[in-house]
Amino acid sequence: MTRHLLIAGAAVAAFSLAACGQKTEAEGAATPAQQAATPDANPAATIPTPSNEAAAPDFVAKAAASDMFEIEAAKLAQTKAKSAEVKKFAADMVTAHTKSTEALKKAIADSGQTVLVLPTALPADLQDKLTDLGKAENFDKAYMDNQVDAHQAALDLLQRYAQDGDVAGIKAFAATTAVTVQQHLDKARTVRDAVK
pTM above 0.85, yes or no: no
Separation between Cα atoms, residue 110 and residue 105, nearest integer Å: 9
Structure confidence at residue 54 as a pLDDT band (50, 70, 90): confident
Domains and CATH numbers, the chain: 53-194 (1.20.1260.10)
pLDDT digits (tens, 9 = 90+) for 121-139: 999 999 999 999 999 999 9
Q: What is the 3-state secondary structure (H, E, C) of 68-112?
A: HHHHHHHHHHHHHCCCHHHHHHHHHHHHHHHHHHHHHHHHHHHHC
Q: What is the mean pLDDT of residues 100-124?
A: 91
pLDDT digits (tens, 9 = 90+) for 66-85: 999 999 999 999 999 999 99
Q: Please report, for the chain, how many H helices and E strands are present, in that order.
A: 8, 0
CB 111 within 8 A of CB 166: no
Query: How far out from the chain centre does Cα 5 lie?
Result: 54
pLDDT digits (tens, 9 = 90+) for 21-46: 443 333 444 444 444 444 444 444 44
